[in-house]
Amino acid sequence: MPDSERAEYVLQALKATGYDAVVVGDQEFLLGESFFISHFAPYLAEKKTPLCWSLFEPGFEFSTSNSLKTTVLLNLANNSRKSCFRTRKSMQFKKAFVEFAVTGYIDKRAFLFFPEDKSAWFGVKSVKETVSNKNTDCLNILLSHSGEMTDNEIASQFPELDLIIGGHTQTVLEQPEVVGKTLIVQAGGSGRYVGRLDLNLDKQGNIADYRYELVRMTQDIPSHPAVSQIVEEYEQSFFKDKKPRPHIQVYPDSFAVVAAEDCRDCHQAQYDQWAGTMHSKAFNIIEKRMKIFNPDCLSCHTTGFGHKQGFVTVETTPQWENLSCTECHWVKREHISEPQAHPLPVTEQTCKRCHTNKNSPDFDYKKYLLQVKH
Ligand code: HEC
Ligand code: HEC
Ligand code: HEC
Ligand code: HEC
């Protein structure tokens, strides 16, 4: 679920990293037109990141007017030499400098399952209008938020592209795909990897050879100081205002948060079985990853996070580390004195609150149930 507050922090972090060029994806539109115009558009337009202008039709104005004319044309076809940006900064080669032409492209199909009310206000140009007849003097790079299959299609259709840096399908490409002379790279999702591609260019500016590496973002890689600070502020803001965040799914306050030990008295067998599952130890991994303050992790790795009786911090509510029975069994407190007040039945939806596509991609209800049922 989109969360504008979190998006603002993400945007701050993005600014702190100082990318030369970015392309927006479908998710950037989920918070709606006014958020896009007030937050993403100014970022994209920042002078510091001139390449981003190539994503927009010249003349597009970042006004907040709601008139129908405020259409963002993401996919810009600009065949003139002006679309080449001279830059030394990105060069790692000894030979003078190379001209880059960076174009952003998001395919219509990236919006296939997108809510229509959120996408009606902008237009997406076709790949043909965007990419065709690129200037062959430049190193033509396409930042594409369109998915691996589409990137392959584009590469075979437009051999003048030298490199496609892809996204959307979150494909982890161990090696670049090569279509004709076009390289396609993609480095998975959620920042788990950073893709590094070193290019050696010949005198004509064509790619002579390359070295590619997928760098796994492990704990031992030093944090970016400015970004860490933003993350810290985000975590603290959550504990300061305690406002529920829309992306964190909480079970209703009308059900109780109860420690597994309090259920054990009457349900010893179920308790013993539960104690052998990872649910009873789910906090360990968060500690190991040093995420004990991150609400985005606590929501699924603790008991009752966001609920008024549930986990807050390790110091104040150590009893709610890990996942107690009540994460699956939504139970009224009365059940403990009047067992006839049954908990709600456990269904597939109960699990999917946490076993989302993102966090549990292999989730299969029947198979997983076998491991947790008592
Ligand atoms: C004082 C004893 C007692 C405690 C404490 C207790 N239960 Fe129960 N529970 C029972 C009894 C007795 C039944 C069977 C009631 C019936 O069949 O009407 C039951 C039934 C259940 C059922 C099955 C309901 C159904 O639909 O068949 C679940 C699930 C359950 N308890 C979960 C819990 C959880 C979770 C806790 C801790 C929050 C808990 N119980 C604490 C006595 C207890
Ligand atoms: C929406 C719920 C949810 C959130 C939010 C969540 N997790 Fe998890 N996490 C899970 C589930 C479910 C599993 C078990 C996945 C499986 O076995 O299929 C899991 C497993 C894990 C694992 C072990 C498996 C692996 O991928 O190595 C780690 C580590 C982990 N989570 C860390 C985190 C961290 C760190 C965060 C915060 C950035 C986080 N999780 C946020 C639900 C969540
Ligand atoms: C991962 C989710 C999950 C957790 C955590 C969990 N249960 Fe269950 N429990 C189930 C499912 C699934 C069933 C079977 C379906 C149902 O009864 O709704 C079940 C059934 C039960 C029953 C009914 C009798 C039975 O054995 O079928 C009781 C009692 C029970 N659980 C108690 C507990 C207690 C006590 C805990 C904590 C120590 C606990 N459960 C933790 C998922 C869970
Ligand atoms: C409140 C969040 C939450 C709910 C609800 C939940 N899970 Fe989990 N589940 C997790 C997390 C987090 C992990 C990973 C724990 C770890 O590896 O540290 C996990 C791990 C598992 C595992 C790996 C278990 C193991 O012992 O190795 C299975 C299987 C599983 N869950 C099944 C289920 C099923 C089936 C349901 C629904 C009946 C369910 N879960 C409900 C959060 C949840």
Regarding predicted confidence, which is higher, 73 or 182? 182
* Residue 129 exposure: Cα atoms within 13 Å on the Cβ side: 14
For 328-345, letters b (16+ CB in 10 Å) and e give bbbbeeebeeeeeeebee
| Position in ligand 1 atom list of the atom nearest CA 345 | 26
Q: How far is the CA of 355 from the centre of ligand 4 (A)?
A: 7
CATH class of the structural domain 4-216? alpha beta
106, 124 Cβ separation under 8 angstroms: yes
Judge whether residue 92 has pLDDT over 70: no
Judge whether residue 69 has pLDDT over 50: no
> What is the spatial distance between Cα 359 and Cα 16, in angstroms, rounded to a whole number?
27
Q: Quick check: CB of 263 below 6 Å from ligand 1?
A: yes
* Residue 308 exposure: Cα atoms within 13 Å on the Cβ side: 4
Regarding predicted confidence, which is higher, 243 or 316? 316
Position 88 confidence tier, pLDDT thresholds 50, 70, 90: very low
Give me the chain's average pLDDT, please: 79
For a mutational test of ligand 3's pocket, the pick from 279, 325, 342, i.e. the residue with the most ligand atoms closer than 8 A to its C-beta, is: 325
Domain boundaries, the chain: 4-216, 248-372
pLDDT in tens, 279-301: 999 999 999 888 888 888 998 99
Q: Quick check: CB of 298 below 6 Å from ligand 2?
A: no
pTM of the model: 0.75
pLDDT in tens, 149-170: 999 999 999 988 899 999 999 9
SS (H, E, C) 66-84: CCCCCCCECCCCCCCHHHC
Q: Quick check: CB of 352 below 6 Å from ligand 3?
A: no
Q: Where are the beta strands (DSSP E) in the chain?
A: 85-86, 99-106, 139-145, 163-166, 177-179, 182-185, 193-201, 207-216
State the pLDDT at residue 364.
Answer: 97
Q: Quick check: CB of 22 below 6 Å from ligand 4?
A: no
CATH domain 248-372 topology: Flavocytochrome C3; Chain A, domain 2 (1.10.1130)
Other Cβ atoms less than 10 A from the Cβ of 245: the count is 19
Tokens encoding 207: 């790619």
Q: Supply the residue whose CA is at minimum distance from atom 27 of ligand 4.
A: 278
Q: Quick check: CB of 275 below 6 Å from ligand 1?
A: no
Q: For residue 342, which ligand has an atom nearest its CA?
A: 1
**Max CA-CA distance within the chain?**
83
Q: Is 270 left (phi over 0), alpha (psi -120 to 50) or beta?
A: alpha
pLDDT in tens, 182-233: 999 999 988 889 999 988 877 766 788 999 999 998 888 898 999 999 999 9
Please provide residue 179's backbone torsions phi and psi, each rounded to the nearest 5 degrees. -120, 110
State the pLDDT at residue 137.
Answer: 66
Q: Quick check: CB of 279 below 6 Å from ligand 4?
A: yes
> What is the spatial distance between Cα 298 and Cα 245, in angstroms, rounded to a whole number?
13
